[in-house]
Structure 1
Amino acid sequence: MTIDAALEQAAQGGLNAEALGNLARMVLATGEEERALPWLRAAAARSNDARLWQWAGLLERAIESLDLAVISFTQAARLAPNDPSIAHGHARVTLDAGFDAVALFDRARRLDPANGEVLAGFAAALLAAGEGAKAEALLDAVLVQSPLWVQGHLHLSQLRALIGRADQAAASFERALSAHPGEPMLWQGLFDLYVSAENYAALADAVDRARAAGVAARETHDYAAIAAAELGQIARADSLLAATSSPLTVWRIRHLLRQGRLTAALALIENALAGPDRDAIWPYALIAWRLAGDPRVDWLAPSALVKIIDLAPTLPPLDQLADVLRGLHRAQGSYLDQSVRGGTQTDGPLLNRVDPIIQAVRQSITTAVESYVAGLPAIDPAHPMLALRRDRPVRFAGSWSVWLRGGGHHANHLHPQGWMSSALYVALPDRSDDPDPHAGWLTIGEPQAAIGIDQPPLQLIEPRPGQLVLFPSWLWHGTRPFAQGDRLTIAFDVAPPV
């Protein structure tokens, strides 16, 4: 049955609870949740069916109406207090809405003690409540009992970084490997940790230790190639990359660019842009085309795709907003896999918080994004930004706040999960005595330092309080360090339209 046919039957009262659940699954898959929500809500209220309330909550969560999702899941949990999936959903939407969810996750864990997502959520709820040490102890105790839970090790690694214990990020992996030295999954998890943290020296060492422990070369070869390439070991990287059948396309391109082998890099880029993984290639195409003087640079990254919008007139008072944001910065360290240097980043989807000041900011941002999308150039099926449809509501793939202190900055990076990315300036340091005239400025189009290509930014943007900057997520961006003071921002990624 199509969505249209199911909606027509729902309007006539012809769908039972199971059919309404199937309708909910379909609209979740196609991003059309708002079409089905009225019928799900009405049926749930009419029948007092816990599963229908759960489906309503899931659709409300998908459209980021967390206030309504909390109400729906509260109803579902009241009707089915011992249902593990309802308990987990109730805890999750409560946490994402910005409420204390520790007790709800504790209950969800008791109902489903082996569910890794519940355990990770419980740890996140404890961290949000200022109980980082308890969150660490929780995950560590579980990993003592279940040392092969790779995702749990990765959660604990990130958590330890956030509570200021980044030096212990790999400790649980190492403990598990001491008991299971030949377990490939554990080694791969450790390799992935070092790749995400861009710690390629540690990756190379881990690969050597895995081989010494008897792990097969097929499990380690690609990671050895990545480490050699990123460490600038040219001959070794060439040999290892030539000997693998894995694409490793991005890593090959980075290696070629780093070594100045532009012709080979361009050929690989052209081939990759014709394939299914082209989205990961555009940032490197921009670097290579700039080096080659290719006129497609102006097509790929026209300055018009970067917009500066003054949101100050539509935002809550910035001093009040700054107070709210500072209260959310409970971390003592930064994410292992993020760009923040010398500061902290909030956890969880910031713009989903059911807080009147945050919701006012969200509304202002949403209006600005809608205006930006409406003003984009015509649809271009070949372009990574302009190929996508424009008729979907604005959804966020992530949102957070960053608080940088003196000397802090963002390393140049990009956002592979987003369609467009952003910087909204809430509080800025006094830069009058800073020797760098561009201290704290946003850079657009300057490659990541590790690639070793000295290209100037396509744009340098001076931050101003209340100013929002929007730009394509695949564009390299970062900030210049500033000497003293602090810098408070909100950032978000707009999700690619379904």
Structure 2
Amino acid sequence: MQNPITQQIIKLYQQRQYEWVIKQFESSLGVKQCDPQSGVCYANALRHSGNLSQANKVYRNLSKRFATVPFVLNGHANLLIAIGEFDNGINLLKKALQIDPKFLDGYINLARAYSLKKQFTLAEKSYRQALQTRPDDPQLLMGLASALQQNDKLGEAESIYQQLLIRLPSPWGIKLYLQYASLLRVKQNYRNAISLLEKAVQIEPNNVDVIINLAANHVLLQQHDAAIVFYEKAIAIAPLDASLQIEYAHVRWSLGIEEPFAKLMSAVRNTHASYELCIAALDLLLNAEQLDLTQVVIEAGVGKWQSDPTFMMFVARHHRLCNRLGEAQIAIRTAVTSSKGPPSVSIENERGYIALALGDGKTALNIYRKLQRRETDDQGWWTLYSTALKIEKAEREYHQLCDYDLVNVSSILSCKPAGFIPRLIDKLEHMHANSQHPIGQSLRGGTQTYEDIFDDPEPVIQELKTWIMERANAFTQAQAKNVQHPFLRHVGKALSFTGSWSVNLKVDGFHTSHFHPQGWLSGVFYVDIPPAVDAGGEGWLQFGKPEIDQLDLPADYVIKPESGTLVLFPSFMWHGTRPFTRGERRLTIAFDMVPAD
């Protein structure tokens, strides 16, 4: 039987009174004397209070003391997963399941960790193992359906959702409706997704997740008035919800609504605005190049978070974008010295950008070498490393890295009927309903589609997808492997798409120089090209010119676009387009691909 102190701590924890849990535990028990239940409540209360390092320290002690108690190992694993230590968390969960092969939470969290690592086959396996013990458990079935969905097994996932819809009571129904609606959204079946969500909102009229998803599906159906109504309803319920405010700001911007950030700024000025909202607002506004509004957010937060490393990293970025490099250096040093342990990759990256802006290639080389070791699959560290090489005039190493023989050009016109491109144009024209370029993207003076375009079942889209996949596989498999090169080290593997979208460039439209850090092979297919490309290089694709205001480094390589042409290139290469000055539009489809594990 639990002692009274443990009972009180558990009750306080269940009531989410985390400060009282911490005070009661520290005054009455202690990590060396506690039982496992009160110890887990204490560690989780520290976690929920934002003290992750202390929570991790407590859990390390608990995991040693209660090494055979699965729920202790599970709690520690959850924390490790939350801070990105997936492999350590997975190992603890495997240990917990060895102790108790029927430990349901262990399977669920193991599957969740695999999903976060994008190892969806392993996530699917974990759910199936758990279902051997509890074949009718709705939580496991919905987890399995989610893993199947992520693994592109949409038919199997939908079958599970449909079976569950018949038998689940209302409380489970909300989560089920949301998950099933997300699958229908992937299939671009927005109307049926809305029908499901309308049922959910009847059950819980003030469920913010349901309302936001209703709004998003109306946006995708280009029913913008209905979308705005739902967003406004969600904002009225949860005005300080960071993810909601950011999503709504994106939508207002893309639709060309006057003062698109007004709602967000009102929330930031609220005295109860959270740290998460402030940080999210800084990220969005800097990406949107709203430097005056960014200054307002900084002034609102500086009294509270001037010693927070992430906040100071954004302050440094703001100074850099305002070309105040001396102040940027001071702010980034504060971010580094305020960090507990090694600075985050975001802080180190900003430190690298400041070095590049100052023309300090040697410092930048050192920073990006270290980041390459920390995140081996992030292509962006190679992009910025190449810029440092260019500054240092290390031409041999630069050209070995940025080898433009790895840019491949081919045309679809020789293998498709004459009507293929007009069919594609007709399809894409109906998909561009926005009036603004998206925030945080390279596009200027044009529009970009919302969803993954290669998920569209339209035959003309699927024909193009298949052809591009064939061309990409043929190109990459023809390359010689080189383990020292970020692109060539992975050639020869099968490929998969990780994102695809269409862009409609208008007068004065262009792409700023950019790169795709989460890709490996990127590409653009030119659908409809205006005559302006024949005049002075307008709209030409250019490689090697960095997008750093203080640097004036030339492009290395350019390509004149033509309708029906596909250009493939390593994702880490700087690439952008020269502006159009005439009125005709340019219509393209772009995408990223990665090699299979």
Question: Given the two structures, how large is their TM-score scaled by the length of structure 2?
Answer: 0.70
Change (3 A) 1:91 1:300: same
Deviation at 1:117, TM superposition (A): 4.9
SS of the aligned residue for 2:374 comes to coil
* 1:90 is the counterpart of 2:190: no
SS of the aligned residue for 1:407 comes to strand
**1:305 corresponds to which residue?**
406
- Higher Cα Rg: structure 1 or 2? 2
What are the within-5 Å matches in structure 2 for residues 216-227 of structure 1?
216-219=305-308, 220-227=311-318
User: Retained in 2: the 8 A contact 1:347–1:400?
Assistant: yes
SS of the aligned residue for 2:573 comes to coil
- Percent identity between matched residues is 25
Question: Given the two structures, how large is their TM-score scaled by the length of structure 1?
Answer: 0.83
Deviation at 1:496, TM superposition (A): 5.1
User: Retained in 2: the 8 A contact 1:73–1:86?
Assistant: yes
User: Retained in 2: the 8 A contact 1:305–1:472?
Assistant: yes
SS of the aligned residue for 1:281 comes to helix
**1:455 corresponds to which residue?**
553
- Most deviating of 289-298 and 117-126: 117-126
Of 370, 393, 397, the residue aligned with 2:473 is 370
* 1:160 is the counterpart of 2:229: no
**1:485 corresponds to which residue?**
584
Of 507, 515, 529, the residue aligned with 1:428 is 529
Deviation at 1:454, TM superposition (A): 2.0
Q: Residue 376 of structure 1 aligns to which amino acid in structure 2? A: Q
SS of the aligned residue for 1:152 comes to helix
User: Retained in 2: the 8 A contact 1:423–1:489?
Assistant: yes
SS of the aligned residue for 1:244 comes to helix
Q: Distance in 2 between matches of 1:346 and 1:413?
A: 18
What are the within-5 Å matches in structure 2 for residues 10-29 of structure 1?
none
Deviations 1:110-156 (A, max 9, x none): 45667655443322210011212322231222222212210000000
Q: Residue 576 of structure 2 aligns to which amino acid in structure 1? A: G
User: Retained in 2: the 8 A contact 1:309–1:467?
Assistant: yes
What are the within-5 Å matches in structure 2 for residues 241-252 of structure 1?
241-245=332-336, 246=339, 247=343, 248-252=347-351
- Most deviating of 190-199 and 102-111: 102-111
Of 394, 403, 426, the residue aligned with 1:323 is 426
**2:152 corresponds to which residue?**
64
User: Retained in 1: the 8 A contact 2:523–2:567?
Assistant: yes
Q: Distance in 2 between matches of 1:65 and 1:355?
A: 19
Q: Distance in 2 between matches of 1:240 and 1:369?
A: 43
Of 203, 214, 217, the residue aligned with 1:122 is 214
Q: Distance in 1 between matches of 2:266 and 2:208?
A: 19
SS of the aligned residue for 1:460 comes to strand
Deviation at 1:210, TM superposition (A): 2.8
User: Retained in 1: the 8 A contact 2:526–2:563?
Assistant: yes
Deviations 1:74-94 (A, max 9, x none): 454345474333322221121
Deviations 1:5-40 (A, max 9, x none): xxxxxxxxxx9x999999987986674649979x98
Deviation at 1:56, TM superposition (A): 6.6
Q: Distance in 2 between matches of 1:496 and 1:113?
A: 44
Deviation at 1:254, TM superposition (A): 1.6
Q: Distance in 2 between matches of 1:441 and 1:51?
A: 52
Deviations 1:244-270 (A, max 9, x none): 325422222222222223333333334
Q: Distance in 2 between matches of 1:481 and 1:250?
A: 28
**2:367 corresponds to which residue?**
268
SS of the aligned residue for 1:431 comes to helix
SS of the aligned residue for 1:235 comes to helix
User: Retained in 2: the 8 A contact 1:257–1:451?
Assistant: no
Tell me the number of residue pairs that the alignment of Structure 1 and Structure 2 aligns: 470
**2:73 corresponds to which residue?**
none
SS of the aligned residue for 2:525 comes to strand
Q: Residue 491 of structure 1 aligns to which amino acid in structure 2? A: A
**2:562 corresponds to which residue?**
464
Of 387, 404, 417, the residue aligned with 1:287 is 387
Q: Distance in 2 between matches of 1:439 and 1:320?
A: 26
Q: Distance in 1 between matches of 2:273 and 2:152?
A: 44
Unaligned runs of 5+ in 2: 1-101
Q: Residue 304 of structure 2 aligns to which amino acid in structure 1? A: V
Q: Distance in 2 between matches of 1:493 and 1:321?
A: 20
Query: Which gives a bigger RCO, structure 1 or 2 (Cα 8 Å, sep 6+)?
Result: 1
Q: Residue 190 of structure 1 aligns to which amino acid in structure 2? A: A
* 1:494 is the counterpart of 2:593: yes
Deviation at 1:160, TM superposition (A): 0.6
* 1:215 is the counterpart of 2:318: no
Of 279, 290, 301, the residue aligned with 1:188 is 279
What are the within-5 Å matches in structure 2 for residues 23-62 of structure 1?
31=119, 33=121, 57-62=145-150
SS of the aligned residue for 1:142 comes to helix
User: Retained in 2: the 8 A contact 1:51–1:76?
Assistant: no
SS of the aligned residue for 1:312 comes to coil
Change (3 A) 1:263 1:489: same
Deviation at 1:64, TM superposition (A): 3.3
**1:240 corresponds to which residue?**
331
**1:174 corresponds to which residue?**
265
What are the within-5 Å matches in structure 2 for residues 333-348 of structure 1?
333-348=436-451
User: Retained in 2: the 8 A contact 1:67–1:354?
Assistant: no
Change (3 A) 1:56 1:465: farther
* 1:440 is the counterpart of 2:546: no
Of 566, 570, 574, the residue aligned with 1:476 is 574
Q: Residue 295 of structure 2 aligns to which amino acid in structure 1? A: A
Change (3 A) 1:258 1:22: closer
What are the within-5 Å matches in structure 2 for residues 372-387 of structure 1?
372-380=475-483, 382-387=484-489
**2:455 corresponds to which residue?**
352
**1:132 corresponds to which residue?**
224
Higher helix share: 2
Change (3 A) 1:30 1:336: closer
Change (3 A) 1:467 1:108: farther
Deviations 1:407-431 (A, max 9, x none): 2111111222212211011111122
